[in-house]
Chain A
Amino acid sequence: MTIPVHPPVGGPHPLPPPGDSAEPLSHWLETHGHPLNTRCGGRGLCNGCQIRVESPAGIVTERACQLTASDLPADLTRIQIPLTSCRDASLHGVTVFELRNPGPPPPTRPGVGLALDIGTTTVAGALWDFSTGRCLAEAAVANAQRRHGDNVVARISFSIDHADGLGRLRRALLNETLRPLIAGLCRDAGIAPAAITQAVAAGNPAMLHTLAGASLVGLATFPFHPVFLGDHHLTAADHGLPFACPLDLLPALGPFVGADITAGALASGLLADEPPALLIDFGTNGEILLKHAGGYLATATAAGPAFEGGRLACGAPARPGVISSLTRENGVWSWTLTGGGNGRPAGISGAAYVDFIALGARDDLINAFGRFNRRHPGVITVADAAPGAGVRVQLTEDLYVSEADVAELLQAKAAIAAGVTTLLELASIRATDLHTLYVAGGFGYHLQPANAQALGLLPAMPLDRIALIGNSSLGGASLLLHPHQRPALNALLADTHVIELNQIASFGDHFTDALSLPD
């Protein structure tokens, strides 16, 4: 007996039923080559892994992570996997970066450089031809470790709680993520991997630890004791990488303020800027670096996956076909899709949720606490909805935003905003004094800064001082392929004070302040 599974592309795929009756169907589908978007970690909190279960009685949409084989109807005709439930292979915007650091272009020399940004969610890479200074190829793939959890802490736990957990994380990153990424980059560039003469990787310490095969135990509990934070060099052959040169791991600033921020500080131009200047790198961990007259303050703040669409009823990462921005004129919502086009929107990106809250508040659909105005014609109440999803604003036939979604986003926003406020307070700097605010990260690249300010996500300051710089971690890793850039980091590494926000008495108060919209 087999179960007929219909993926969105390719023909039907009949599968043997799960051997273990307690196995969630999401896990079973993954082992048979159909990984679903289990972005909430398979906890039944999002709609990422929805499948359609068809029988003569009709079609029922269910979360695959909450189903086992025994939940399927006896007269099942087929299981359909919608396109929106597939774990995306690549995300938009993560290979876009700007190099704003001043100085002369690097001298030309023979060779090819590989720059890597190893993110918890997405891994991006770029190949550079040193003889011309040109970028030969750039690409991004999903981090295959995601099946073991959607955030850094979940990965650390996985490494501790499972037999060979660290080995499994390492192999997922090396064999299933980096090697295919590097092979694809070389194919696009028309070179052999062996032609790579220099390689540099940025990423948070947990990712670089798994890559090096270093224990994550020291990152699990406070006080943190990472195995390494400074420069680290991996012999490519020991890690099965297809080139002869070592892979240089860039130095981190602290246990949760990683080499991605070190690299971003260089790529943004912040290192050369007049203080005060601020860099915010948006990810599931928001990392913040403040340059002030006396040095640097850095911190990480747990924003969670909401800005990447996680744990939201219709949320999605900014991949093609997903709503990337929203406008509202005369009471009518309109949108643009990531990558363009006029298709049926497949989800709502984090940046579009920011637009939604800003415009909803402007037009009195939403109050300062994120509650919907039930008397507004744009707000509807749906009976029999999931808890918290009954009062909603319908954007398209398929997509809506609920009060529960807005509450989730306000908490993510508060984590970032309170982190920024706390750093500025520690350095006695007002937001309006900042010369420049650099906004990095895939989510940040799609933001409309004025709407982000209306939400209180970005500090109130003149818009012309805000720069969206994309994946500055990949940009910085690219720059650091050139040895003459390395000394520029020394002042940053020596003069940075890393702050644990939870140890700052005022952080909790700033967090509560930031839970509502600014006046």
Chain B
Amino acid sequence: MKTILASLAVAVETGKRNDAKNLTQSLVDKGMAPLDIVEQGLVPGMSAIGNKFKKNEVFVPEMLIAARAMKECMILLEPLLAKAGIKPKHTVVIGTVQGDLHDIGKNLVSMMLKGANFGVIDLGANVDPSKFAAAAKEHGASLIALSALLTTTMPAMKTTVDAIRASDMAKLKIMIGGAPISQEYADQIGADGYSADAASAVDLALSLVGETH
């Protein structure tokens, strides 16, 4: 099983989605617990590519290809995790703000967060500001992540932060990201954190929920 797990980590890291899916299925067939497959196969694979990304050894295309390999594995594992009653320690609500339809960057962050054992509630793109706090309440989330890809849709990020702060979920941590976003903007609109890319988004999420790693 150890060698299969190691192969799975490599398949995720190198974006070989069919291999990754088959290896996941064979581990399930051998009776391995789904959480162990996530923690010992998928997570090492995603963190390996995330670390390479931070060192400029790989670029966005390979990150996206790896994330999709992981997604295919998660499609197999998520029902099994739910059936086993496994609840991730932390849940994050994520979405692209109102007026913005772009979701490729947001989807990558979703997958990276799943790869770090977060429960992820993905509200999609063009999300009404009031929906974030409501979803966080419903799912017991401890973190909200907002994405905006355009300079024209950045203002909706402020509207959304204001809506969350005015709700009964006002104390929730909020992190933001997207091509035109900066730390300065995060400070300006009262978000708790900003990350420049999907790999550092995981570090930020962990630190915002009080996990050190």
Q: Compute how far the CA of A154 lies from the CA of B179 in the bound complex, rounded to whole angstroms.
A: 12
Whether the Cβ atoms of B62 and A369 lie closer than 8 Å is yes
Q: How far is the CB of A422 from chain B (nearest CB, A)?
A: 13
Whether the Cβ atoms of B59 and A403 lie closer than 8 Å is yes
Q: Compute how far the CA of A14 lies from the CA of B21 in the bound complex, rounded to whole angstroms.
A: 66
Give the residues in chain B near A153, CB-CB below 8 Å. 150-152
Partner of A503 from B65, B68, B101 at Cβ < 8 Å: B101
Q: A404-B59, A508-B107 are in contact. Are A502 and B102 (CB under 8 A)?
A: yes
Docked complex: B127-172 residues within 8 A CB-CB of A? 150-153, 156
Q: A221-B153, A388-B56, A388-B59 are in contact. Are A500 and B101 (CB under 8 A)?
A: yes
Closest A-chain residue to B107, C-beta based? A508
Q: Compute how far the CA of A20 lies from the CA of B202 in the bound complex, rounded to whole angstroms.
A: 39
Is B32 at the interface (CB under 8 A from chain A)?
no
Q: Please indicate which of the listed interface residues A153, A403, A500, A509 has the most CB atoms of chain B within 10 Å of its own CB.
A: A153
Main secondary structure, interface of B, reads: loop
Q: Compute how far the CA of A407 lies from the CA of B62 in the bound complex, rounded to whole angstroms.
A: 9
Q: How many A-B contacts are there with CB distance less than 8 Å?
A: 68
Whether the Cβ atoms of B101 and A222 lie closer than 8 Å is yes
Whether the Cβ atoms of A407 and B104 lie closer than 8 Å is no
Whether the Cβ atoms of B99 and A508 lie closer than 8 Å is no
Q: Compute how far the CA of A468 lies from the CA of B101 in the bound complex, rounded to whole angstroms.
A: 32
> Size of chain A's interface in residues, with CB distance under 8 A?
30
Is B41 at the interface (CB under 8 A from chain A)?
no
Q: Compute how far the CA of A222 lies from the CA of B150 in the bound complex, rounded to whole angstroms.
A: 11
Give the residues in chain B near A410, CB-CB below 8 Å. 61
Whether the Cβ atoms of B104 and A222 lie closer than 8 Å is no
Q: Please indicate which of the listed interface residues B99, B103, B152, B153 has the most CB atoms of chain A within 10 Å of its own CB.
A: B152
Q: Compute how far the CA of A194 lies from the CA of B56 in the bound complex, rounded to whole angstroms.
A: 58
Partner of A369 from B56, B61, B107 at Cβ < 8 Å: B61
Docked complex: A401-417 residues within 8 A CB-CB of B? 403-404, 407, 410-411, 414
Closest A-chain residue to B17, C-beta based? A512
Q: How far is the CB of B180 from chain A (nearest CB, A)?
A: 8
Main secondary structure, interface of A, reads: helix
Whether the Cβ atoms of B61 and A414 lie closer than 8 Å is yes
Whether the Cβ atoms of B61 and A515 lie closer than 8 Å is yes
Kindly supply a per-residue 1/0 record for chain A positions 480-519, scoring 1 wherever the CB is within 8 Å of any chain B CB and 0 otherwise.
Answer: 0000000000000000000010110000110110011000
Give the residues in chain B near A407, CB-CB below 8 Å. 59-62
Q: How far is the CB of B94 from chain A (nearest CB, A)?
A: 15
Q: A221-B100, A222-B126 are in contact. Are A370 and B61 (CB under 8 A)?
A: yes
Kindly supply a per-residue 1/0 record for chain B positions 103-116, scoring 1 wherever the CB is within 8 Å of any chain A CB and 0 otherwise.
Answer: 11001000000000
Closest A-chain residue to B55, C-beta based? A387
Q: Compute how far the CA of A220 lies from the CA of B125 in the bound complex, rounded to whole angstroms.
A: 16
Is B15 at the interface (CB under 8 A from chain A)?
yes
Q: How far is the CB of A97 from chain B (nearest CB, A)?
A: 31
Q: How far is the CB of B131 from chain A (nearest CB, A)?
A: 16
Whether the Cβ atoms of A220 and B61 lie closer than 8 Å is no
Q: Compute how far the CA of A515 lies from the CA of B125 in the bound complex, rounded to whole angstroms.
A: 22
Give the residues in chain A near B68, CB-CB below 8 Å. 509, 512
Q: A221-B156, A516-B65 are in contact. Are A157 and B101 (CB under 8 A)?
A: no
Kindly supply a per-residue 1/0 record for chain A positions 142-165, scoring 1 wherever the CB is within 8 Å of any chain B CB and 0 otherwise.
Answer: 000000000001101100110000
Whether the Cβ atoms of B125 and A502 lie closer than 8 Å is yes
Q: A388-B56, A404-B56 are in contact. Are A222 and B100 (CB under 8 A)?
A: yes
Q: How far is the CB of B165 from chain A (nearest CB, A)?
A: 22
Is B120 at the interface (CB under 8 A from chain A)?
no
Partner of B61 from A161, A411, A509 at Cβ < 8 Å: A411
Whether the Cβ atoms of B104 and A511 lie closer than 8 Å is yes
Q: Please indicate which of the listed interface residues A221, A387, A508 has the most CB atoms of chain B within 10 Å of its own CB.
A: A221
Give the residues in chain A near B102, CB-CB below 8 Å. 502
Partner of A221 from B56, B62, B64, B98 at Cβ < 8 Å: B98
Q: How far is the CB of A512 from chain B (nearest CB, A)?
A: 5
Partner of A515 from B65, B153, B156 at Cβ < 8 Å: B65
Give the residues in chain B near A370, CB-CB below 8 Å. 59, 61-62
Docked complex: B39-72 residues within 8 A CB-CB of A? 56, 58-62, 64-65, 68
Q: Compute how far the CA of A511 lies from the CA of B102 in the bound complex, rounded to whole angstroms.
A: 12
Closest A-chain residue to B97, C-beta based? A221
Q: How far is the CB of B36 from chain A (nearest CB, A)?
A: 27
Question: Can you sample 16 A-B contacts with CB below 8 Å?
Answer: A221-B99, A221-B153, A369-B62, A370-B59, A371-B58, A388-B56, A404-B59, A502-B125, A508-B103, A509-B68, A511-B64, A511-B104, A515-B61, A515-B62, A515-B65, A516-B65
Besides the known contacts A221-B100, A515-B64, A515-B65, 10 further A-B residue pairs in the complex with CB atoms under 8 A apart:
A153-B150, A221-B99, A221-B152, A407-B59, A410-B61, A411-B61, A502-B103, A502-B125, A508-B107, A511-B64
- Interface of B with A (CB < 8 Å)? 15, 56, 58-62, 64-65, 68, 98-104, 107, 125-126, 150-153, 156
Top 9 A-B residue pairs of the complex, sorted by shortest distance between their CB atoms: A221-B99, A407-B59, A502-B101, A220-B152, A157-B151, A515-B61, A387-B56, A388-B56, A410-B61
